[in-house]
């Protein structure tokens, strides 16, 4: 883990997450979402405070579906930058935003010193697979957002990658081509959608490398802590839950503690394998809860979380 890095460099600028990911040690990072209600705020901040002592390389703050959390994403990202020792990355999506509005959000992020942004296209509000309607003065794809960020200032920009292909992509080959276009548009690194089998990540990494693209791809992981996670996983990950693993969970499905234990064990084993395979980092989707993430982190090989 990249340790002891200041969240602000001398001169006021934040370190580039791309540089951290390209460094010799794997990065560890945690993803949070901005709560929609006031009641969700204490939960978020409790999770942030409980994970802060693990000294992650960075944390990321998502952007609500349909652009719904524009203000809270910026506000939470700013608070992380100013009130914690953590290095924040803001997610930014293109849904329902004109280029002028996107520039405004980008300007606000720059204004609070945020230099790292994950540029994702976003899904339509409501049905994620519903028709994606471009704002009449907006952009169409994540690659356009990458270009907008890069021409707006000294931003380090990440993009999304999909081990099972993006659900809208017709096939793996075109998905790979589109992903590489985003990298060539200027992305410094990528983070994957969640997956539950290390081989699925490795196949993505191999096909991107085989196509001549060396943009580092950080695996995004989330432990199963209840059967409902599995039920939602197809919608979340874009692929059916691996059948062999499903069988293991089904065998203990009547015992909530056993499901949780198996989820932590499976995610820990998968992370250990990914680290063995030389991944550039691991990005934990926390859902604003710290316990499961901390348990997986504690189980990682000691050398990996120095």
Which active-site residues does the annotation give?
Answer: 31
Note the residues at the interface with ligand FAD (CB under 6 A): 62-63, 65, 91, 93, 118, 120-123, 141-143, 160, 166, 168-169, 175, 178, 182, 191-193, 220
Place of tokens 């550039």: 280
* Count of C-beta atoms within a 10 Å radius of residue 214: 9
At closest approach, how far in Å is the CB of 135 from ligand FAD? 14
Least distance in angstroms from the C-beta of 197 to ligand FAD: 16
Nearer to ligand FAD, 48 or 160 (CB): 160
**Min. distance of Cβ 295 from ligand FAD in angstroms?**
22
- Residue 168's Cβ-count burial label (10 Å; 0-12, 13-18, 19+) is middle
- For residue 66 the two structure tokens come to 């349909």
How buried is residue 222: exposed, middle or buried, by Cβ count under 10 Å (0-12/13-18/19+)?
buried
Least distance (Å) between residue 76 CB and ligand FAD: 12
What whole-number distance in Å separates Cα of residue 227 and Cα of residue 277? 29
Q: Transcribe 196-261 into DSSP letters.
A: S-HHHHHHHHHHHHHTT----EEPEE----SHHHHHHHHHHHSSPPPHHHHHHHHHTTT-HHHHHH
CB-nearer residue toward ligand FAD: 73 or 268: 73
Closest CB to ligand FAD among residues 79, 168: 168
Identity of the residue, 1 or 89, whose beta carbon is nearer to ligand FAD in the bound complex? 89
Identify which of residues 260 and 283 has a Cβ nearer to ligand FAD in the complex.
283
Q: Output the smallest distance, CB 246 to ligand FAD, in A.
A: 22
Q: Which is nearer to ligand FAD, 124 or 253 (CB)?
A: 124
DSSP helix/strand/coil, 134: coil
Minimum distance between the CB of residue 34 and ligand FAD, rounded to whole angstroms?
Answer: 9
Q: What is the DSSP string of 78-124?
A: HHHHHHSS--EEEEE--TT--HHHHHHHHHHHHHTT--EEEE-----
59 and 32 in contact (C-beta within 8 Å)? Answer: yes
Those residues whose C-beta lies under 8 Å from the C-beta of residue 238, and which sit 6 or more positions away, are 162, 164, 165, 166, 167, 193
Which distant-in-sequence residues (6+ apart) come within 8 Å of 270 by Cβ? 196, 197, 198, 221
């Amino acid at each position: 883990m990249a340790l002891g890095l200041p969240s602000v460099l001398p001169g006021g600028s934040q370190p580039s997450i791309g540089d951290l990911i390209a460094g010799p040690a794997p990065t560890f990072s945690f993803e949070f979402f901005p709560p929609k209600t006031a009641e969700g705020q204490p939960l978020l901040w409790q999770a942030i405070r409980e994970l802060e002592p693990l000294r992650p390389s960075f944390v990321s703050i998502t952007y609500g579906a349909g652009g719904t959390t524009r203000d809270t994403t910026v506000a939470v990202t700013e608070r992380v930058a100013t009130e914690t020792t953590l290095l924040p990355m803001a997610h930014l999506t293109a849904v329902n935003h004109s280029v002028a509005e996107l520039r405004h959000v980008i300007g606000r992020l720059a204004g609070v010193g945020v230099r790292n942004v994950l540029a994702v296209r976003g899904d339509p509000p409501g049905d994620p697979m519903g028709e994606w309607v471009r704002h009449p003065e907006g952009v169409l794809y994540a690659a356009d957002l990458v270009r907008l960020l890069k021409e707006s200032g000294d931003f380090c920009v990440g993009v999304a990658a999909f081990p099972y292909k993006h659900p809208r992509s017709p096939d793996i080959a075109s998905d790979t081509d589109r992903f590489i276009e985003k990298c060539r548009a200027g992305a410094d690194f990528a983070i994957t959608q969640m997956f539950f089998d290390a081989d699925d990540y490795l196949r993505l990494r191999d096909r991107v490398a085989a196509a001549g693209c060396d943009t580092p791809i950080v695996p995004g992981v989330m432990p199963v802590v209840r059967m409902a996670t599995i039920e939602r996983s197809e919608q979340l990950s874009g692929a059916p839950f691996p059948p062999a693993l499903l069988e293991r969970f089904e065998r203990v499905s009547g015992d909530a503690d056993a499901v949780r234990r198996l989820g932590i064990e499976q995610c820990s084993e998968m992370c250990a394998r990914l680290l063995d395979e030389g991944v550039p980092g691991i990005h934990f989707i926390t859902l604003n809860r710290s316990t499961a993430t901390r348990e997986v982190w504690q189980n990682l090989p000691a050398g990996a979380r120095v």
